[in-house]
Structure 1
Amino acid sequence: MMTKHFSKHKKAIAAAAAAALLSSIALPAQAATPASALVMAWNIDAISTFDPAQVGEVVTNELLQNTCDSLVDFDPKDESKVVPLLAKSWDVSEDRKQITFHLNEGLKFPGGAPATAKELAWSMQRVVTLGYGNAATLTEYGFSKDNVKDRIVAKDDNTLVLTLDNPYPTNLILQAVGANRVSALLDQATLTKNEINGDLGNKYLATNTACVGPYKLVQWNAGESIVLQANDDYYGKAPKLKRVLIRHVAEPGTQRLLLQQGDVDIARDLSPDDLADLDGKPGLKVERVLKPQLFFWTFNALDPVFKDEKVRLAMRYLIDYDGLGKSVMKYLGVPRASFAQLGATGALDAEQGQPFKLDIEKAKALLTEAGYPNGFEANVLIGTLPHSAPIAQSIQQNASKVGVKLNLERMANAQLFARIRGREFQTGMLAWQTSVPDAHGNASRLVYNPDNRPEAKLTQMPSWRSAFQNEAFNTQVKAALLEGDPEKRNQIYYQLQKDVMEKGPMAIMFQMYNILGMSDKVQNWTWNGFRVYYDLASK
């Protein structure tokens, strides 16, 4: 039996040239933002590339989702469902091992060159061929450098076929691959023209986009600003706002000032105090949605101290989940210790998924059992997220009560990510966001580690970054993935979450909100835990 899904797309033309926005970047104080543009203040210092094969940062992923359409998309109203995007429909074979996608007709790259299933097949094959971190999104479902050209195939200009090695849950494949940046349709001709030493255009995509989407990147000044312009050649509905300007503003207080002055429409990194003060103010509003992002404290299992699971468990009891949740994180997130985010298939509920509380005596006892009755000294790397420092400082104070001296080292987010990915750390605090509303999304990245060797360089797997490998956990992750009985599958995940909270390589602390301060001039702001839809916003 074959299942089909359909959607209608209209071709629309969006007007205005990028130059029109560039002339409006310098906004005078107290001036209204342009009526045709969405202006955001956001800490975007983590951006290092726009290559879908390599991007791992939340900020850049959001930008790619608005410039590079994927095969399917998350339903704006229900993130557990997928809806058509590049593909207008798809068929699933009876054995669930083959999915045939039927693309919209008339797809074009910015500039008017035709975009077909052949370029899409090349684009997805390219992810595996390059072998950067995002290759894992495809390799975990059986695609490899040896077989990808046979298993991701364009039958004609409008038909793409994915052949899987196992009967994975279809909805999971649609979420994990179809709605992921790895299925972005890239301009093969442009990337081939700009290829350097066989990099398939990777260096070109460090500062450019070359894909099919509602917007296109027209300017990126690192550490300053990003300008997106509506794509005149887009096959779908034209964005309601022609331009999106993102100004890099690292300090929450400065973001708040710009918002109150009317210099920006949206501030993305406000502190709890800022949010509380702005909430209910005339002309302003606070919007939030729970997202699948976890903020955690990761430990390097190669370190002689943190290779001991009792030490890692002791650190969990130094976290004041309740106190931080009511203060620093009041507007920013909810306490969560499980790797499976709230709302995900297979996730423990709020109570079971957060069994810890601040317990100095428990931490002291665990450290004594581990051979550190007088504590030890360790470094903690933190980035520029507004909550990173106060959380780290709170834990630092609690740690001092058990003889543990924690030295905090603050740096730009891009530097933090580079250090963590290179295993050049002892401990660090950062966030991770899954791409699917299923426990497998995080189990496959935060728990599963198929190859712990340094040369494996599985940089998009926080488990590998932590040099943590547990074969029993690996077996459970693989068993849950292929379990056909939904209840049995959930039970595997429930037990795995409990085990990982005791023995895992990181102390997960909070599940984050996507939260912002916004001018009430902005209408139809649309988002869920997995997507922000710039093209639907209006003024």
Structure 2
Amino acid sequence: MHRRDFLKSTTIAGFTALLDVSDVFAQSRQETLVVISESGPNNLDVQGVGTNRPGYEVAWNCYDRLVGYGVKTLADSSRSYDQNAIVPELAERWEVDSKGITFHLRRDAAFHDGTPVRSADVKWSFDRAVSVGGFPTSQMAAGSLLKPEQFSAIDDHTFRVDFVRPDALTLPDIAVVVPAVYNSELVKKNSTAKDPWGLEFTKTNTAGGGAFKVEKWTPGTEVLYLRNDDWKSGPLPKMKRVIWRTVPSAGNRRALIERGDVDFSFDLPTKDFAELKAKGSVAVQSTPISNGMWCIELNVTKPPFDNIRARQAVAYAIPYQKIMDAVLFGEARPLFGAASNTPGDTTWPSPTAYNTDLVKAKALLAEAGMADGFETTISLDAGQATLSEPIAVLVQESLAALNIRTTIDKIPGSNWRGEMMKKTMPFMINFFSGWLDYPEYFFFFTYHGQNAVFNTMSYKNPALDQLIDQARSLAAKEDRTAYEATIKQMITLGYDEAPRIPLFQPYLSVASQKSIGGYVYWFHRQLDYRSLTKSA
């Protein structure tokens, strides 16, 4: 046996042994779901500072929201959330009038410690979301949820949201991950004068009443969940226990799913997806990630990328097709090579007019006064290195032809969001997907001058801000003709300015044992354990 194969086999054997130990505590293997992924949560609180995407999975399963989204069956028989269907969760019903929304809470809902859920908890939770700053507050603002004065606890089971302006995204925004409902008294008992919202406590402890509760979290290794048998906001999940382990090696993740040692391998590399699909030994599903794209993101506040010609030069130097072929194996939707940066319709994401043209790139560099090239650093999230690292290598090679000299900085996944918030990285390879599937929502987070964490480029353009705000207003007025014209102008300006350079719209690919059912694709790109089933 080769040393590499020996190490892989012993790593897998050790992992399997850990699962066996964990299973001692489960009712039975039949009621236990074992999940693996490339990276795990760095924070158990979606409203925490720098919480990464895996942290959303914890929040989604361990906290309730007032409302959620329905589920629909797609043409290929797979299942997806339905953004056009808002369904009850903690709120049994609600009424929308010209001035706001009134929610009526379930009277039997309780938090994990048995404390009844009251509208005062909802009020405190919404106040917290609009006050802590960073991503949570930006997310609430996407639905015009801006200040505590908008939220009222009318009585123990009636909660009111007042509008600050008409906004078609207000109710949909209440159904996403951030407006989770917290056990306010528990969090307040564990807050301090320096930490009035208890962020340090909720970083390592859940304070919700959702379908699952965290039994144990070992950062970088695993999360163990137990079902909340007293959950009232939906059908009781079939799984009594979930074991979610972090396995950074793509090869090990593939071996574990193929050997049957785990039930679910989440967010598969494209090469593995294509090969597993061909083999047919496990079930595989792939869904285009709604409102999402991988991009090159350039910090416009400092040279050289404060120069639009330098940014456009990079856009024409990207080896787009090589990335599609060598990294993605065709398992993505290209976002380059259109006839114009002005889209023909409002289908989103739309491709740019950029393609690989080194002659044009060199000419643009010369126009920028940078004919001799420059030096920069390409930063990427090591937690997504399966894709981002080979992309970075191909980009580095192509830029070298322009005498643009680069180094690659792989930032640990647990630190990535924190580094993004600093807005100091000059050149990033990054992914963003908007939870609400509308182009103006994507632009609000990634281009708008509010400078949300996802505007990694620190790009500010009052003309584009006006178009984004106008599109949101026209959507609320249901003026479709003016809305579509505004969206096209918004996309054109953003693409021409090139602070971020779209590469492709990826697919979210998963593999599971054929005994696993009930998988649903969600906008947050994480697993919802509540719907999953396991047959004999």
- 2:454 corresponds to 1:472: no
Give the match for residue 488 of structure 2. Answer: 494
> How far 1:143 moved relative to its partner?
4.7
Of the three residues 85, 91, 94, the one matched with 2:95 is 91
SS in 2 for 1:226: strand
Of the three residues 182, 192, 207, the one matched with 1:186 is 182
> How far 1:508 moved relative to its partner?
2.1
- Indicate the RMSD between aligned Cα atoms, in angstroms: 2.4
Counterpart AA for 1:470:
N
Give the match for residue 39 of structure 1. Answer: 34
- Residue-pair matches, total: 490
Q: Distance in 1 between matches of 2:192 and 2:348?
A: 49
Give the match for residue 152 of structure 1. Answer: 151
SS in 2 for 1:425: coil
Give the match for residue 355 of structure 1. Answer: 353
Give the match for residue 18 of structure 1. Answer: none
1:100-127 superposed Cα distances (whole Å, 9 cap, x missing partner): 1122221100121101111011111012
1:194-232 superposed Cα distances (whole Å, 9 cap, x missing partner): 112343211011111111211111211011001121112
Counterpart AA for 1:500:
G
Q: Distance in 2 between matches of 1:128 and 1:518?
A: 38
Give the match for residue 370 of structure 2. Answer: 372
After superposition, residues 408-419 of structure 1 pair within 5 angstroms as 408-419=408-419
SS in 2 for 1:473: helix
Give the match for residue 381 of structure 1. Answer: 379
Q: Structure 1 residues 290, 282: CA separation in 2 closer, same or farther (over 3 Å shift)?
A: closer
Q: Distance in 2 between matches of 1:361 and 1:327?
A: 23
1:10-67 superposed Cα distances (whole Å, 9 cap, x missing partner): xxxxxxxxxxxx9856479xxxx92111111112255234243546532211331122
- 2:232 corresponds to 1:241: no
Q: Distance in 1 between matches of 2:528 and 2:301?
A: 41
Counterpart AA for 1:505:
P
After superposition, residues 98-247 of structure 1 pair within 5 angstroms as 98-139=100-141, 142-144=144-146, 147-148=147-148, 150-169=149-168, 172-176=169-173, 178-197=174-193, 198-235=195-232, 236-247=234-245
Asked if the contact 1:40/1:267 (under 8 Å) is kept, the reply is: yes
Asked if the contact 1:381/1:410 (under 8 Å) is kept, the reply is: yes
1:449-468 superposed Cα distances (whole Å, 9 cap, x missing partner): 13xxxxxxx5x4322x3221
1:484-506 superposed Cα distances (whole Å, 9 cap, x missing partner): 20221122111111111110421
Q: Distance in 1 between matches of 2:303 and 2:145?
A: 36
Unaligned runs of 5+ in 1: 1-21, 339-345, 451-457
Q: Distance in 2 between matches of 1:349 and 1:186?
A: 34
1:151-174 superposed Cα distances (whole Å, 9 cap, x missing partner): 1011112211111111112xx212
Of the three residues 525, 534, 538, the one matched with 2:533 is 538
Identity of aligned residues (%): 24
- 2:71 corresponds to 1:73: no
Q: Distance in 2 between matches of 1:329 and 1:118?
A: 48
Give the match for residue 428 of structure 1. Answer: 428
After superposition, residues 55-66 of structure 1 pair within 5 angstroms as 56-66=51-61
SS in 1 for 2:164: coil
Structure with the higher helix share, 1 or 2 = 2
> How far 1:430 moved relative to its partner?
1.8
Q: Structure 1 residues 330, 173: CA separation in 2 closer, same or farther (over 3 Å shift)?
A: farther
> How far 1:332 moved relative to its partner?
5.1
Q: Distance in 1 between matches of 2:529 and 2:128?
A: 27
Q: Distance in 2 between matches of 1:333 and 1:46?
A: 26
Counterpart AA for 1:117:
S
Q: Distance in 2 between matches of 1:229 and 1:495?
A: 49
Give the match for residue 333 of structure 2. Answer: 334
- 2:86 corresponds to 1:82: yes
- 2:505 corresponds to 1:505: no
SS in 1 for 2:327: coil
Counterpart AA for 1:203:
E
Give the match for residue 13 of structure 1. Answer: none
Q: Structure 1 residues 40, 509: CA separation in 2 closer, same or farther (over 3 Å shift)?
A: same
Q: Distance in 1 between matches of 2:20 and 2:506?
A: 31
Asked if the contact 1:376/1:405 (under 8 Å) is kept, the reply is: yes
Where do 4+ consecutive residues of structure 1 move more than 6 Å? none
- 2:456 corresponds to 1:461: no
SS in 2 for 1:105: coil
Q: Distance in 1 between matches of 2:30 and 2:278?
A: 23
> How far 1:331 moved relative to its partner?
6.2
Counterpart AA for 1:418:
G
Decide which moves more: 487-496 or 49-58.
49-58
SS in 2 for 1:102: strand
Give the match for residue 276 of structure 1. Answer: 274
Give the match for residue 401 of structure 1. Answer: 401
Q: Distance in 2 between matches of 1:100 and 1:414?
A: 38
Q: Distance in 2 between matches of 1:304 and 1:378?
A: 10
> How far 1:322 moved relative to its partner?
2.8
Counterpart AA for 2:417:
F
1:460-486 superposed Cα distances (whole Å, 9 cap, x missing partner): 4322x3221111111111111111202
Of the three residues 41, 50, 53, the one matched with 2:45 is 50
Unaligned runs of 5+ in 2: 1-16, 73-81, 338-344
Asked if the contact 1:524/1:538 (under 8 Å) is kept, the reply is: yes
Of the three residues 262, 265, 272, the one matched with 1:264 is 262
Counterpart AA for 1:127:
A
Q: Structure 1 residues 529, 122: CA separation in 2 closer, same or farther (over 3 Å shift)?
A: closer
1:239-277 superposed Cα distances (whole Å, 9 cap, x missing partner): 111111111111111101111222211112432222222
